[in-house]
């Protein structure tokens, strides 16, 4: 991928108002048009710009396609919400323990992602399966090629399918990490999810050590000792 030059950046910024206007006419939303143009910019970063015969036509085509995809996705979301509302009216209210079990399941899934997969594999799997991103959009995040993103996705699926039961360990996931992961999932917040998976941060915190006391010992006994259980 060639590095972004000043001319490349200037060309895109010159076309940005036009691209936004095209997207707004199709998607019907200025906010979504902003998102589409930014997604187009990510593609612009990842493409071989020297190989484009007409960059303006390429950018226009990308914005049109992504805007149509947004429109179709929004229509699908409306249908999904309406169907979910109908089902919710027929279902009894969820019990408090169900929310707890769901949080535990999310934490276990996140732990599998962090332990089993590399950074690129985590991004490829979550962006594709949760946010419905295509390989080109996924590749633009770490600055690689769509074929590499496709390989990362296939490898991630294979590793999770082949993963054996994890060994017991004395660490647990950072609670704040689980909370942010849950919020990003519930809100379909793509930037938050990318920042969460890509940024270096403390994933685990040490579990409180268990204490082992010698039989018959007391705190005043000279032979009293504390040992960490392995």
Mean pLDDT per block of 10 residues along the chain (230 residues) reads 73 92 91 91 86 90 92 83 68 56 69 80 84 84 86 88 55 70 80 75 50 47 41
* Per-residue model confidence (pLDDT) at position 116: 81
**Strand, coil or helix: what is 27?**
helix
* Per-residue model confidence (pLDDT) at position 224: 37
- What is the DSSP secondary structure assignment for residue 142, as one 8-state letter? T
* Per-residue model confidence (pLDDT) at position 64: 94
* Per-residue model confidence (pLDDT) at position 49: 83
* Per-residue model confidence (pLDDT) at position 225: 42
* Per-residue model confidence (pLDDT) at position 228: 39
Between CA 165 and CA 174 the distance in angstroms is 21
Between CA 108 and CA 173 the distance in angstroms is 9
* Per-residue model confidence (pLDDT) at position 207: 47
* Per-residue model confidence (pLDDT) at position 195: 80
CATH class name, domain 1-91: mainly alpha
In the chain, CATH 1.10.1740 covers 1-91
> What is the pTM assigned to this prediction?
0.44
* Per-residue model confidence (pLDDT) at position 120: 87
* Per-residue model confidence (pLDDT) at position 97: 54
* Per-residue model confidence (pLDDT) at position 23: 93
Concatenate the DSSP letters of all residues of 74-138 into one string: HHHHHHHHHHHHHHHHHSPPPPHHHHHHHHHHHHHHHHHHHHHS-HHHHHHHHHHHTT---HHHH
């Amino acid at each position: 991928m060639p590095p972004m030059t000043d001319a490349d950046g200037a060309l895109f910024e010159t076309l940005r108002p036009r691209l936004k206007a095209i997207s707004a006419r199709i998607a019907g939303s200025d906010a979504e048009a902003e998102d589409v143009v930014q997604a187009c910019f990510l593609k612009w970063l990842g493409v071989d710009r020297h190989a484009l015969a007409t960059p303006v036509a390429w950018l226009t085509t990308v914005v049109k396609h992504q805007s149509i995809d947004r429109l179709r996705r929004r229509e699908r979301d409306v249908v999904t919400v309406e169907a979910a509302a109908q089902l919710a009216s027929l279902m009894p209210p969820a019990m408090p323990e169900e929310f707890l079990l769901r949080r535990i399941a999310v934490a276990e899934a996140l732990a599998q992602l962090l332990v089993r997969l590399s950074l690129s594999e985590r991004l490829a799997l979550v962006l594709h399966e949760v946010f419905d991103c295509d390989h080109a959009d996924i590749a633009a995040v770490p600055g690689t090629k769509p074929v590499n993103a496709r390989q990362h996705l296939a490898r991630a699926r294979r590793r999770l399918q082949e993963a054996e039961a994890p060994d017991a360990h004395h660490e647990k996931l950072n609670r704040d990490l689980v909370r942010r992961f849950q919020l990003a999932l519930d809100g379909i917040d793509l930037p938050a999810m990318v920042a969460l998976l890509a940024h270096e941060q403390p994933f685990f915190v040490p579990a409180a050590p268990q204490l082992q006391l010698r039989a018959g010992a007391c705190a005043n006994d000279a032979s009293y000792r504390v040992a960490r259980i392995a």
